[in-house]
Amino acid sequence: MPDSATSPPAAGVIHDLGYRGYDGPRLGRGQIVRALTWHSFRSSFGIGRGVKGKIIPVLAFVAMCLPAFVNAFAVARGNPRLFGYDVYVPSLRVAVVTIFLAAQAPELVSRDLRNRVLPLYFCRPLRRGDYPLAKYLALTAALLLLIEIPLLILYVGTIASVKSGSAVWDQTKALIPGLGVGLMWAVLMAAIGLVLASLTGRRAYSTGIVAISCVLTFILSLLLIQAEGGTTAMSTGARIAGLFSPFTIMDGVRVWLGGNPQVGLVANPGRYGPLYGLTAVVLLAACLGGLAARYRKVSRS
């Protein structure tokens, strides 16, 4: 439309409707952070993105829920509940959480770095820490859904089949620690995933960094545990061999807090239990600190 360069702009074109400002109240910072969190939460499941962005979250969700459905169905036909609420299916959970994290943490942070949209956020009424906080809350919530929904399916399926009120209460008592473990997973893994993904704006690299970090540390811990005699061993080596991967650390914390040591990923940490708890807290603090530091630096560019 080269004519428009010379003719006056008010030529009755469709977009010439006059500009409306906005003098109403502006939402506060808290609500802005909430809006950003909600937006990020949606995009962590690929909502608002193309079909491609939805494939991995949906597959992860289906894979995670499938055993719960199958077991709930089996319970309805008189079979026992196979999966504990606190461990669920340990290897599946590790695999699905790793894949979900490797795919979706970069979705939340790397693409903003890649597309250089951060100045657009920081030129608006956000503080430096608000952006990583919103991303963290969003990814934590997404992981929480991914981990807890199968437990709830299993729970609902089970109580639908039991006869007595006391059996329902037993199931509920078993479920609550399971939900707690899920929360721990979401809180810690979201922090780890985001800090690793925010290292680079190259989507493929950050996916690789997250996936490799999760997988390699997990294999390392498993090998060490095997070398020390497996998950039933009582030696000091076996007890602390789980300290080298976030998944085994969290499982150590679970056992330390009273979870069943017969199932799960690690040997019973015994008196090293507090060490697992401490490691988990330090790891979480380090990741959140690293994330905050990352965005203090990046916002200047």
Partner 1 sequence: MPSTDPPAVIETWGLTKLYPGGVTALDGLTVDFAPGVTGLVGANGAGKSTLIKILLGLIRPTKGQAKVLGLQTGEKVRSLLGYMPEHDCLPADVTATEFVTHLGRISGLPPTVAKERAAESLRHVGLHEERYRLIGTYSTGMKLVGAPRLLLLDEPTNGLDPAGRTAMLELIARIGTEFGISIVVASHLLGEIERICDHLVAIDGGRLLRADTITSFTQVSQVLAVEVEEGLDRLQAELAARGLAVTSQARTLLVPLGGDDTYDVVRDCVAALSLPLCRLEQRRHQVEELFRDEEGVANA
Tokens 């929360």, residue located: 183
Least Å from the CB of residue 214 to partner 1:
25
- Which residues lie closer than 8 Å to 191 by C-beta, 6 or more apart? 136, 283, 284, 287, 288, 291
Q: Quick one: which of 11, 76, 127, 160 contacts partner 1 (CB under 8 A)? A: 127
Structure tokens at 247: 């998944």
204 touching partner 1, by CB under 8 A: no
49 touching partner 1, by CB under 8 A: yes
4 touching partner 1, by CB under 8 A: yes
Q: What mask, x for binding partner 1 by CB under 8 A, covers residues 58 to 97? A: ----------------------------------------
| First-residue to last-residue Cα distance in the chain | 36
The Cα 30–Cα 56 span in angstroms is 31
Q: Quick one: which of 5, 77, 78, 166 contacts partner 1 (CB under 8 A)? A: 5
Q: Quick one: which of 56, 126, 162, 233 contacts partner 1 (CB under 8 A)? A: 126
Q: Which stretch binds partner 1 (CB under 8 A): 9-17, 212-220, 226-234, 275-283?
A: 9-17
Instruction: Look at the chain and count its residues.
Output: 301
The Cα 280–Cα 272 span in angstroms is 13
2 touching partner 1, by CB under 8 A: yes
39 touching partner 1, by CB under 8 A: yes
30 touching partner 1, by CB under 8 A: no
The Cα 70–Cα 133 span in angstroms is 37
Q: Are the C-beta atoms of 165 and 258 separated by less than 8 Å?
A: no
129 touching partner 1, by CB under 8 A: no
28 touching partner 1, by CB under 8 A: yes
Q: Which stretch binds partner 1 (CB under 8 A): 32-40, 205-213, 262-270, 289-297?
A: 32-40
C-alpha distance from residue 26 to each of 123, 124, 259, 284 (Å): 16, 12, 48, 34
Q: Which stretch binds partner 1 (CB under 8 A): 33-41, 66-74, 78-86, 241-249?
A: 33-41
**Chain-centroid distance, C-alpha 228:** 31
54 touching partner 1, by CB under 8 A: no
Task: Tell me the backbone φ, ψ of residue 88, rounded to 5 degrees.
Answer: 55, -125
The 3-class secondary structure across 157-205, one letter per residue, is HHHCCCCCHHHHHHHHHHHHHHHHHHHHHHHHHHHHHHHHHCCCCCHHH
297 touching partner 1, by CB under 8 A: no
111 touching partner 1, by CB under 8 A: yes
Least Å from the CB of residue 56 to partner 1:
14
* Three-state SS at 84: strand
Structure tokens at 211: 């996936």
51 touching partner 1, by CB under 8 A: no
Q: Quick one: which of 13, 216, 281, 293 contacts partner 1 (CB under 8 A)? A: 13
The Cα 247–Cα 270 span in angstroms is 18
Q: Quick one: which of 119, 129, 230, 274 contacts partner 1 (CB under 8 A)? A: 119
Q: Quick one: which of 14, 163, 165, 271 contacts partner 1 (CB under 8 A)? A: 14
The Cα 177–Cα 89 span in angstroms is 15
| Contact residues: partner 1, CB under 8 A | 1-2, 4-5, 9-10, 13-15, 17-22, 24, 26-29, 31-32, 35-36, 39, 48-50, 53, 111-112, 115-117, 119-127, 299-300
